[in-house]
Structure 1
Amino acid sequence: MNPLFAEFIGTTLLVLLGNGVVANVILNKTKGQNGGLIVIAFGWAMAVFVAVFCVASFSGAHLNPAVTLALAVAGKFAWAQVPGYVAAQMLGGMTGAFLVWFMYRKHFEHTDCADTKLAVFCTGPAIRSLPGNLASEIIATFVLVFAVLHMVSPKVSLGAMDALPVGLLVLGIGVSLGGTTGYAMSPARDLGPRIMHALLPIPGKRDSDWSYSWVPVVGSLNGGALAAGLFLSQT
């Protein structure tokens, strides 16, 4: 499989299953309604496990611009490949969000709350305080990337490790650090689906909260870069 196509497919699977568990828990008249944060965190962990398992041998399974950037900063990935990987990840995130909408489109019709509909696609803070929200995203992504950099081999990226440790890592972050902003930790997971929320014909939807949209992007990229910087200082 071509590495860029693998990143696209992997990120599509990641967002389909990750945002899918959110839809299953918060939309009306689903089988999993009111499952809570633990179900969402576990679902996201399994989404990461499946996505990494499927494409790691082809692309290294970055599936996240923050991871790609950090691996490049750490000298584990060629800078020339970064734009292609990020583009594939963003398109995958958008495609995964589209599939979630298609799968749950009737449940969107039975859900009145516009905020709930937005939450299926992208994250939002429990308490809106942009400096604190930004710090939350930086810290969560730092933990993700710092752990990943210590798990991978010196030669390649996530393909050097089994998929399960990454899933367990995301599960731990979700249950421990996910209560403030929803632990986006990735522009492909948050910005891509947010764009789809703006484009799709969702009945009764609100605006896509663009005033907050920069927080998961800037926070995740900076958290990943800081993790790479600390990793380099240890080597």
Structure 2
Amino acid sequence: MGEDRRHLERLHTHDLELGYTEALEKHITRHVVPTKPVSQRKLTFEHKRPRILRECMAEATGVFYYVLPGIASVASFTINGTSPLGITAFGSIFQIGWAFAIGIAFAIITCAPTSGGHFNPAITIALALWQGFPWKKVPHYIFSQIFGAFMAGLLLMGMYWPEIQALKAANIAEHGTTVFNGGAASILCVFPNPNQTNQGYIFLQEFFVDSFIGLIIWTCLDPANPFHTAASVPWTIGLAYGVMVWGFAGNTISTNLARDLGTRIVAAIFFGKEAFTFDNGYCWISILVNIPATLFATGYYELLLRDSLQNIQGGHNKHEDGDEGLVRHLTQVGTIDPTETERGYTNAVGKETAPNGNSRQV
């Protein structure tokens, strides 16, 4: 036992078993080329960068990171009929769902350490409303998110230009327009199916799809939730988007104001103002419904599901009146017997702390 204990201390871990742990320790400390030390010049440069500029660029980059692979997958799905190879299996809704899901995960991993990884105006507004995010930063974040989607749309048009031009000509020859579901413009932003003439139905679908995603995101942001880790959050949120795409993309969903508005502006530049006026102004649903739906989902979690007491007991926060205030709160909600308060309170690890500072297992 003493020998094992010595090994654990040397490895600075109590989480891994001996054996593979030692191999891991040897590999991660072996450097073929020594790491270059951080210079004072670099530290000075990083310190002088405006914080808000870094956050805005991170938000724009994150949205770009997930929108570009998503709409590129839509492009391959839409254009596959004109493939010079004569193959019509270049894409599917299943592929599109994975493109958005993995793109979102990559965006969070890459940019969230800098800006918090909102990538959605509705999430930015919800964080300002419920979590104290500064309202003065909200316009900067929203503009950056829309700009990131706009740049993704522009870049996609450049990379797929010959194919999109050929599809545009075919659409005009057959339908007289490119603005319809399955047309060239739908590569950039969504349009309802021809049989979706009831906007109330589309609103209902968009609202609950966005609420589903918003609730998953808000759950991942709760530090008291024991069922996720920091490493799992990007993939959990990405998969939330993925399953909604798989289930409802065939019936028209948008899910994000920035993703839709940024690329819809690009569609209007290349395919005309009908990108905004199609189907009696359907775009108001795809652009705006995400905000009330996300606020509904986050409010549902805050008012009905969140348990801040778990947060306090886990050491993330303290009651504003200290331990005595926590004891009073626990007594009021009936968590502990009022007659027991003179002896202290039961903490998160199951020990009772007495006023004299001693503790015993309970």
TM-score by length of 2: 0.59
**Aligned residue for 1:62?**
118
**Aligned residue for 1:6?**
58
Is the CA contact (8 Å cut-off) linking 1:41 and 1:174 kept in structure 2? yes
Q: Which moved more, 1:96-105 or 1:165-174?
A: 165-174
**Aligned residue for 1:106?**
162
- For residues 160-196 of structure 1, the C-alpha deviation after alignment (integer angstroms, 9 at most, x for no partner) is 5632111111111111233321x21111111111111
Output the CA distance in 2 between the equivalents of 1:128 and 1:17.
Answer: 30
Output the CA distance in 1 between the equivalents of 2:299 and 2:162.
Answer: 46
- 1:132-143 to 2 correspondences below 5 Å: 132-143=201-212
Unaligned runs of 5+ in 1: none
2:29 pairs with 1:29: no
- 1:1-235 to 2 correspondences below 5 Å: 2-27=54-79, 28-29=82-83, 33-34=88-89, 35-75=91-131, 77-111=133-167, 112-113=170-171, 114=178, 115=180, 116-126=183-193, 127-154=196-223, 162-181=233-252, 183-200=253-270, 207-210=274-277, 211-234=281-304, 235=306
Is the CA contact (8 Å cut-off) linking 1:71 and 1:149 kept in structure 2? no
- Counting helix residues as a fraction of each chain, which structure ranks higher? 1
- For residues 206-227 of structure 1, the C-alpha deviation after alignment (integer angstroms, 9 at most, x for no partner) is 8214311111122111111111
Secondary structure, counterpart of 1:119 in structure 2: helix
Letter in 1 for 2:301: F
Letter in 2 for 1:60: G
Question: How far off is 1:72 after superposition?
Answer: 2.1
Q: CA RMSD in A?
A: 2.3
Change (3 A) 1:4 1:101: same
Is the CA contact (8 Å cut-off) linking 1:153 and 1:160 kept in structure 2? no
Output the CA distance in 2 between the equivalents of 1:154 and 1:76.
Answer: 16
Output the CA distance in 1 between the equivalents of 2:222 and 2:112.
Answer: 13
Number of aligned pairs?
A: 228
Identity %: 24
Output the CA distance in 1 between the equivalents of 2:248 and 2:130.
Answer: 25
Is the CA contact (8 Å cut-off) linking 1:24 and 1:30 kept in structure 2? no
Is the CA contact (8 Å cut-off) linking 2:268 and 2:276 kept in structure 1? no
Change (3 A) 1:196 1:134: same
- For residues 83-140 of structure 1, the C-alpha deviation after alignment (integer angstroms, 9 at most, x for no partner) is 1110100111101110111110111122122131111111122323211111111111
Unaligned runs of 5+ in 2: 1-50, 172-177, 307-362
Output the CA distance in 2 between the equivalents of 1:7 and 1:206.
Answer: 27
